[in-house]
């Protein structure tokens, strides 16, 4: 009976002593400090190169010359050229409209009669003057007067001929003006007259513009002019239209097309409000058929322009994201990050052209980092070189 009572107590004591022994014999676990890896950054290798500076601009295509055709004589329009329609093309001296010439043909005939009559009168006066000289030699004494020799009458007859010939010239000119001719190769913008319409001198017949070349007005900030070779004009030295080349880009029918041109002049004033100065770009033969189904550079088309400026030599071109502040970047040397001050030649929204401050082959950090300590350790991932 006593054994049944003591046996569980003995087992319990042994279990407690075993647990105590295990607790006392366990090893003390020392916690290890958490290791934070250095931040991972993307880097690019920097190499010097030559870089073409490009000045962006935009504008609208305009004709170099536009004209309002007017009638110089009165009459009814009897013929209109098929080319004289909105959008029609024509060449220089093409007849666009014809005014009824019959009244002017009659005026020419009448003026020819007046010329003939004036010449006949002069011949009579010269003959009578010759007779007067002979009679004076036979009958007169002393020197004859001009009136006796009929010199005033001859002068009047010659003046009458000159007036008659002037009237004939004016009549021929009016007859010629019954045909409205194109002053240059061009295109019709608007048509304001048609067959059967009666017009007076000064009546507008339509608007036309030249198509030998088109112009685009390109406002550019004054500070950007330092990167361009511009054809400035001076009073004693006109410019020679030898400005920098320009690439024009226009979107038509959902596709972008490129046209080459050049800067031909600088406008005479700087906008005092914006500080912009307008350059004028020219594209020759804008309606000439080009390869690859390129549409014409039509008047009124909006274009973006890339003006080709100076070619910078031995510079580094880095992404704008690499710039820290105004003129500093981060370079990686021996897995450590350092600030570097650079000399910037030009910066835009995407690229920074560095004149000096970076060595060939250096690793440039292009990753955004919130907090930077000069000399901090980093891990790097290479993304290519800036060549």
Determine what percent of the chain is predicted with pLDDT higher than 90: 44
pLDDT digits (tens, 9 = 90+) for 339-380: 999 999 988 888 899 998 888 888 999 888 888 888 888 888
- Opening angle at CA 343, ends 339 and 346, nearest 5: 120
pLDDT at position 2: 60
Instruction: Determine contact, residues 178/98, Cβ cutoff 8 Å.
Output: yes
3-state secondary structure of 117: helix
Mean pLDDT of 324-350: 89
Give the model confidence (pLDDT) of 259-278 as tens digits. Answer: 999 998 888 788 788 888 89
Pick among 1.10.520.10, 2.40.420.20, 3.40.640.10, 3.40.50.720: CATH of 41-50+313-386: 2.40.420.20
Sheet holding 379-386, edge to edge: 336-341, 328-333, 363-365, 40-46, 379-386
User: Is residue 219 predicted with pLDDT exceeding 90?
Assistant: yes
Which CATH number among 1.10.10.10, 2.60.40.420, 2.40.30.170, 3.30.360.10 corresponds to the domain 56-63+213-311?
2.40.30.170
Quick: pLDDT tens for 114-128: 999 988 988 888 887
- pTM of the predicted protein model: 0.71
Domain residues of the chain, as ranges?
A: 41-50+313-386, 56-63+213-311, 73-98+179-211, 101-177
Could you give phi then psi for residue 223, rounded to 5 degrees? -65, -25
State the average pLDDT over residues 173-202.
Answer: 94
In what helix (H) or strand (E) does residue 160 lie, and over which residues does it extend?
Answer: helix 151-176
Q: What's the confidence (pLDDT) of residue 232? A: 65
CATH code for residues 73-98+179-211:
2.40.50.100
């Amino acid at each position: 009976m006593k054994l049944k009572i003591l046996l569980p107590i003995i087992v319990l004591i042994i279990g407690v002593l075993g647990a105590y022994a295990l607790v006392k014999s366990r090893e003390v676990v020392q916690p290890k400090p958490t290791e934070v890896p250095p931040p991972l950054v993307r880097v690019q290798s920097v190499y010097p190169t030559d870089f073409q500076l490009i000045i962006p601009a935009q504008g609208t295509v305009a004709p170099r010359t536009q004209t309002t055709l007017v009638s110089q004589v009165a009459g009814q329009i009897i013929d209109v050229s098929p080319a004289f329609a909105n959008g029609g093309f024509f060449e220089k001296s093409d007849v666009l409209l014809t005014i009824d010439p019959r009244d002017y043909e009659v005026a020419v005939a009448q003026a020819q009669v007046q010329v003939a009559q004036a010449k006949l009168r002069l011949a009579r006066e010269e003959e009578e003057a010759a007779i007067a000289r002979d009679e004076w030699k036979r009958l007169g004494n002393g020197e004859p007067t001009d009136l006796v020799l009929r010199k005033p009458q001859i002068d009047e007859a010659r003046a009458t001929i000159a007036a008659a010939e002037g009237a004939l010239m004016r009549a021929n000119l009016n007859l010629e003006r019954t045909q409205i001719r194109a002053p240059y190769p061009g295109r019709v913008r608007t048509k304001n007259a048609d067959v059967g319409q009666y017009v007076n001198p000064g009546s507008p017949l339509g608007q036309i513009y030249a198509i030998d070349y088109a112009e685009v007005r390109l406002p550019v900030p004054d500070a950007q002019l330092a990167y361009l070779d511009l054809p400035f004009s001076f009073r004693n030295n006109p410019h020679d239209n030898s400005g920098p080349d320009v690439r024009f880009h226009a979107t038509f029918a959902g596709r972008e097309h490129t046209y080459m041109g050049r800067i031909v002049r600088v406008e005479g004033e700087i906008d005092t409000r914006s500080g912009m100065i307008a350059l004028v770009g020219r594209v020759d033969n804008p309606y000439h058929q080009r390869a690859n189904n390129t549409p014409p550079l039509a008047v009124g088309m909006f274009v973006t322009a890339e003006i080709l400026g100076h070619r910078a030599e031995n510079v580094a071109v880095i992404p704008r994201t690499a710039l820290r502040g105004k003129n500093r970047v981060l370079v990686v040397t021996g897995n450590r990050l350092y600030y570097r001050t650079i000399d910037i030649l030009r910066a835009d929204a995407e690229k920074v052209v560095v004149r000096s401050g970076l060595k060939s082959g250096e690793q440039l950090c292009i990753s955004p980092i919130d907090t930077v300590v000069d000399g901090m350790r980093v891990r790097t991932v290479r993304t290519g070189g800036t060549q």
